[in-house]
Structure 1
Amino acid sequence: MDEQELRATLRTSLERHAAEADVTAPVADRARGEVRRRRRTRWSVVGAAAAVALAVGGAAVATGGDDPAQGPSTVDEGSADVTPTSTDEWRTEYWGGVAVDVPADWGYGGAPFDDGTACYPEAMIGPDGRRLRTSGDRGWVGRPIGATDVCALVPNAWEPSAPYAWLGAGVEPGTYEYDNGYVQETIEVEGVTVTVGTTDAGLRSRILATARGGEPTRCQHTYPGVPEATTGFFDSGDDGPPYAWVCAYRVVESPNIVEDGTFRLSYAAKVAPEAAADALAAQDAAPVQQVDCDYQPHEFVVLATGVPGDTYTRTVYETGCAGGTVHLVGGAKEMVAAGVKPWAHNGIPAVVYGPTGGRGAMIDSFIGPQG
């Protein structure tokens, strides 16, 4: 079952259960209390179509002031999940040609598609890419990507319990007020919706004020198809330090975007150049990819590396059948864990599905199979 079929089945089940419910005042009050209780303990599976929830076990994350480009930091295995409150440190999140700044200790979760289905509307991945045991009151950044088969209809059968920012969500510009005091505001930047929900008007305004288009990165905003691996020399003579960026792309459904098969940037982040070099070395040593699969790709990842004033390289990680293919300048290689783990952290496990079939050693690096 693909992502669209899964969402359609879940939505039908959710609507059926909503229609069957007794909506008299005492029952509605009890239902709201039950929703809050379930959210505190963990999202439950809604409807027979989602009878098996994705296990999101993992260790608690202590983010502190870690550099996101360095990958996962130390984890206190014996403590509960940390609930950060500081907004002194910020990071930039990308969707298409739009960028927005959010508190660096926020995690990653889901956001509503155009039909209002969100899978999963709370933090399920920590800021370093580790799966959270509980989300607590941790804020999160959501994209309209089905990161799990545990879904909710937003806002009909959902109420926030932590602040959030949504990029490209199926939400009309404007303001929505929840009964529990959260206020959700949506604006549009270059055809992309940016939504922030909080009880703190100052924080909401501060985040929305950072939303902008045309952010210069080493990640191209769109591709008409899966690109070829390339290497070359910079035309400009400007010198600079070595860089590495991980750039994820997918065919997306988003407000004001016509489904035309174009791949749009779904995530971008800096990677330590040394980590990127390790990944490329591992892929160069991997077996040659022999399988030619007949399938329609829906996502890929570009590892962009280079030295300004000197050379640049574009390596393409294409997920799909046979465990994934990595397109190097010298040819196609099998995707291997050592070629993925150096860059597949932070938001990647909540944004990229990864190779079909998993290939065990990489399962925590991507969303992976659901259900």
Structure 2
Amino acid sequence: MKKDFYEVLGISKGADAAAIKKAYRKKALEHHPDKNPGDKSAEEKFKVAAEAYEILSDPNKRAQYDQLGHRAFDGSGGFGGGGGHAGMNMDDIFSQFGDIFGSAFGGGGGFGGGGGGQRRTKGSNLRIKVKLTLEEIANGVEKKVKVKRKVQAPGVSYRTCSTCNGQGQVMRVTNTILGRMQSASTCPTCGGSGQILDKKPSEADSQGMIVEDETVSIKIPAGVVDGMQLKVSNKGNDAPGNSVPGDLIVAIEELEHEFLKREGENLHYDLYISFPEAVLGVSKDIEAINGKVRIKLEEGIQSGKILRLKGKGIPNINGYASGDLLVHVNVWTPKTISKEQKLFFENNMSDEHFVPNPEKSDKSFFEKVKDMFS
């Protein structure tokens, strides 16, 4: 079971951005691979800390994590697309968060060799919207979508940037009243990639890239909500040179169901019955998320009665349980009736069985609403 990200960084849930960054830097320096050569355990902790920082440093991702936990990113979150830190790419970590290390390890350059290797840039992200039915949300689904990605053209080649010698950064030394200060900035020649274009085919653009269609498979867990964003790692655009692809950001759009209304993990269904059915009682088939369900209405059921079907709602995205299906009973009053029917009701207008006489156990409308939202 994955450890809580706040525990990983040793911070409270109310920590601000500065505290999160400070805690991550401390953990990252402690478990840095250059400080712990050959130590797989330290490398694993380094990756976990990076994943925790990647989520908690982003306000939107942090909000999703606080609400849904690790399941908010399972199957699509984290580096490597596996929903966990095991598939994280070390160069990917340095390319995104290398500036946090400062000069502690050679300016936070590429993985290995104390920052002496080539820096790897990351391509831009792609964003798509996926529409899901309520049935797909309730059961989880695998969607195949076609995306247009920028990729390096076949036959393209790059050479090491002579300005930064493949580091992606240039170092500057400035004399100040406090002494000589060293600072690093992105290389102006290669834009941080450490490489520049050498040869390119005619169909490639000025960076050696072409656009290709690719079919991407997206595993969407049960219980997602409208507006949630999932991430498929490495399915965004490539970048020139020695780079890693960006990510594919998938926004969820929930389609409206014909009969069911969603409220969190609960579902609501309006059931209309006739006056005779309310008086005599009846069995009814109602629409549930995975097919029809038969329920029995007792004699004399009142309009506004709410029947709760346990576990017939939407699964919790963290896998704890499923919500309920709430059936709202509405007694339909006819607008037109025959003379014989009208005479029947007129004769029974004052009959004791037709006079409203609610029992103490019968809840008012406001009590029902209160119960429904609690």
User: Normalized per residue, which structure has more strand?
Assistant: 2
**Under a length normalisation based on structure 1, what TM-score does the superposition of the two structures give?**
0.22
User: Normalized per residue, which structure has more helix?
Assistant: 2
Larger Rg: 2
